[in-house]
C-alpha cells in the first residue's frame, strides 16, 4: 500500500494505517503523506520507510513506483486527503495502473465520480470507498436478515448521524474543521458530504434498496459558515418504503451517534454504532432479541457476520476493526485477481466506486432539493 495524505497531525490516515496492518495482508511501502513535501518526509521517517520511498507529491510517487519491479512497487494507493484531492489522485492512480482505496465522499462532483467509475471499469482495477460502517459484523448481519426476508417487505427506514463537534466556529483553529467548512476543499456540502454520505450509504447497504426520491432541508446554524451543518431529509425507496434521514454537526454533545432502524411487515432491526456489537431484532409476536458479534449459538449468525469477526463474543470489536474489514476484503480480492482466481462474495463485500457515485448523486440531489420548492426531487 502507498498512501496519499495522512501526515503528522492528520486524523484518518493513522486509522487507515492501523486497519490495513491488522490482518498481515497489507504493508505500507511508500507515501506522499502531506501537502507540504518536507512534512511528508518527516512522516515517512516516523513510519520507518526508506527515504527513497517517501515522496514529495503523489505525481512523483506514481511515476517512481511504476518503474519498480512488480512485487516491490505498491499494488494500491490509499487516499486520505481532504475531499477535493480524492479525484485527481484516484484518476492518476488508475491511469498509472494502481488499484485504489479512497476516502469518502468519493469526489466533489458526480461527474468526477462517474469518470472514475468508467476508468476503473476500463482498466479493470479495483476501487474501494471507505464507508466504514458497512464493515461492522452486526451491520452485515442486519443486511443478511433483510436479504433473507426475515423482516418481510420493508416499509420504513430511519437513519440518523448526529455529531456536536461543529456547534461552535472551530474553523481557522482546528485543521479538520477548517477544510470541512471550506467549499473549495470539502465540495458543495458540509455535514451532508461529511457524515450524511455515510447515513445514505448505510441505509442503501443494509436494505439493498435504492433511494429514489427525496425532500431535503439543509441549514447552516453557525454564523459565517458557508456550508450546511445540519441536514433533514425525507426519503422514498424504490419498493415504496418511506424513510427519514438526519445528519448534523451541531447536535450539541453528540459524538458519532450513527443509528439505523429498519421496519418490515414482519419485524424490525436497530443498530447503534456506539454499541456496535449489538443488533436488536424486533418481532410482531414475541419479545425483542439481542444478537451479539461473535456469539453464534448454533449458527444463527450469517457467514458475512462471522467472516468479518476476529475474536469471540464479549471481546469488543470496533471502529478500527470495521475499517480493517474493508481493507482485508479488498486485499483478499486483489490477491485473488493477481493469482487469476475468482474472489468469493465475502471478499467482494466492500463499498465500491459505484457506491461512491451513488453517494455523490445523493449529495447533489439533497442540495438541489433544499434549493427548490418542489416537494419531491428524484435521485438520478
**Binding interface with ligand NAD (CB under 6 A):** 4-7, 10-13, 32, 34-35, 58, 80-83, 85, 103-104, 130, 132, 175-176, 179, 194
- Tell me the closest approach of the beta carbon of residue 33 to ligand NAD, in angstroms: 6
Nearest-angstrom CA–CA distance, 347 and 365: 31
Nearest-angstrom CA–CA distance, 370 and 377: 9
Nearer to ligand NAD, 92 or 279 (CB): 92
- Tell me the closest approach of the beta carbon of residue 334 to ligand NAD, in angstroms: 20
Nearer to ligand NAD, 154 or 191 (CB): 191
Nearer to ligand NAD, 10 or 138 (CB): 10
Nearest-angstrom CA–CA distance, 324 and 132: 9
Nearest-angstrom CA–CA distance, 163 and 306: 30
| Phi, psi angle pair for 109, to nearest 5° | -140, 160
Cell of 14: 493513522
Nearer to ligand NAD, 35 or 46 (CB): 35
Nearer to ligand NAD, 65 or 194 (CB): 194
Hey, CA dihedral for 104, 125, 138, 240, is it positive or negative?
A: positive
Torsion region of 172: left, alpha or beta (phi above 0 gives left; psi -120 to 50 gives alpha): left
DSSP secondary structure code for residue 164 in this structure: -
Nearer to ligand NAD, 85 or 235 (CB): 85
Nearest-angstrom CA–CA distance, 355 and 106: 9
β-strand partners of 113: none
Nearer to ligand NAD, 20 or 80 (CB): 80
- Tell me the closest approach of the beta carbon of residue 9 to ligand NAD, in angstroms: 7
- Tell me the closest approach of the beta carbon of residue 151 to ligand NAD, in angstroms: 27
- Tell me the closest approach of the beta carbon of residue 191 to ligand NAD, in angstroms: 11
End-to-end CA distance of the chain: 34
Among 98, 86, 74, 79, smallest CA distance to 26 is for 74
Nearest-angstrom CA–CA distance, 341 and 287: 45
Strand 230-237 and strand 30-32: the pairing is unpaired
Cell of 327: 481493507
Nearest-angstrom CA–CA distance, 269 and 177: 34
- Tell me the closest approach of the beta carbon of residue 204 to ligand NAD, in angstroms: 16
- Tell me the closest approach of the beta carbon of residue 134 to ligand NAD, in angstroms: 10
Nearer to ligand NAD, 171 or 282 (CB): 171
Alpha helices in the chain (DSSP H): 12-21, 37-46, 58-67, 86-95, 110-123, 137-147, 175-180, 183-186, 191, 197-207, 303-307, 319-338, 353-371
Cell of 378: 428524484
Three-class secondary structure of residue 250 per DSSP: coil
- Tell me the closest approach of the beta carbon of residue 377 to ligand NAD, in angstroms: 24
- Tell me the closest approach of the beta carbon of residue 142 to ligand NAD, in angstroms: 19
Nearer to ligand NAD, 83 or 181 (CB): 83
- Tell me the closest approach of the beta carbon of residue 309 to ligand NAD, in angstroms: 20
Nearer to ligand NAD, 81 or 207 (CB): 81
Amino acid at each position: 500500500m502507498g498512501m496519499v495524505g495522512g501526515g503528522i497531525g492528520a486524523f484518518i490516515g493513522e486509522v487507515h494505517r492501523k486497519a490495513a496492518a491488522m490482518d498481515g495482508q497489507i504493508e505500507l511501502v511508500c507515501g506522499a503523506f502531506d501537502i507540504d513535501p518536507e512534512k511528508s518526509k518527516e512522516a515517512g521517517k516516523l513510519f520507518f520507510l526508506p527515504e527513497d520511498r517517501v515522496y514529495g507529491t503523489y505525481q512523483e510517487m506514481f511515476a517512481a513506483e511504476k518503474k519498480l519491479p512488480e512485487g516491490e512497487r505498491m499494488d494500491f494507493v490509499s487516499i486520505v486527503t481532504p475531499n477535493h484531492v480524492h479525484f485527481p489522485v484516484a484518476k492518476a492512480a488508475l491511469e498509472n495502473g494502481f488499484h485504489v482505496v479512497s476516502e469518502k465522499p468519493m469526489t466533489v462532483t458526480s461527474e468526477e465520480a462517474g469518470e472514475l467509475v468508467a476508468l476503473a471499469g476500463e482498466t479493470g482495477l479495483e476501487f474501494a470507498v471507505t464507508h466504514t460502517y458497512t464493515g461492522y459484523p452486526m451491520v452485515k448481519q442486519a443486511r443478511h436478515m433483510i436479504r433473507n426476508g426475515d423482516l418481510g417487505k420493508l416499509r420504513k427506514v430511519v437513519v440518523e448521524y448526529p455529531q456536536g463537534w461543529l456547534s461552535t466556529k472551530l474553523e481557522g483553529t482546528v485543521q479538520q474543521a477548517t477544510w470541512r467548512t471550506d467549499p473549495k476543499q470539502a465540495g458543495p456540502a458540509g455535514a451532508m458530504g461529511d457524515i450524511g454520505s455515510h447515513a445514505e450509504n448505510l441505509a442503501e447497504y443494509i436494505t439493498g434498496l435504492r433511494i429514489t426520491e427525496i425532500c431535503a432541508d439543509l441549514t447552516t446554524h453557525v454564523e459565517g459558515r458557508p456550508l450546511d451543518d445540519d441536514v433533514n431529509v425525507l426519503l422514498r425507496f424504490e419498493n415504496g418504503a418511506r424513510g427519514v434521514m438526519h445528519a448534523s454537526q451541531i447536535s450539541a454533545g453528540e459524538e458519532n451517534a450513527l443509528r439505523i432502524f429498519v421496519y418490515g411487515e414482519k419485524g424490525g432491526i436497530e443498530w447503534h454504532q456506539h454499541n456496535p456489537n449489538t443488533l436488536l431484532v424486533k418481532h410482531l409476536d414475541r419479545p425483542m432479541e439481542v444478537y451479539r458479534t461473535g456469539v453464534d449459538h448454533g449458527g444463527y449468525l450469517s457467514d458475512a457476520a462471522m467472516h468479518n469477526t476476529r475474536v469471540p463474543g464479549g471481546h469488543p470489536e470496533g471502529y478500527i476493526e470495521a475499517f480493517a474489514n474493508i481493507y482485508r476484503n479488498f486485499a483478499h480480492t486483489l490477491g485473488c485477481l493477481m493469482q487469476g482466481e475468482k474472489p468469493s462474495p465475502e471478499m467482494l463485500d466492500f463499498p465500491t466506486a459505484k457506491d461512491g457515485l451513488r453517494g455523490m448523486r445523493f449529495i447533489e440531489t439533497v442540495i438541489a432539493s433544499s434549493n427548490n420548492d418542489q416537494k419531491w426531487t428524484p435521485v438520478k
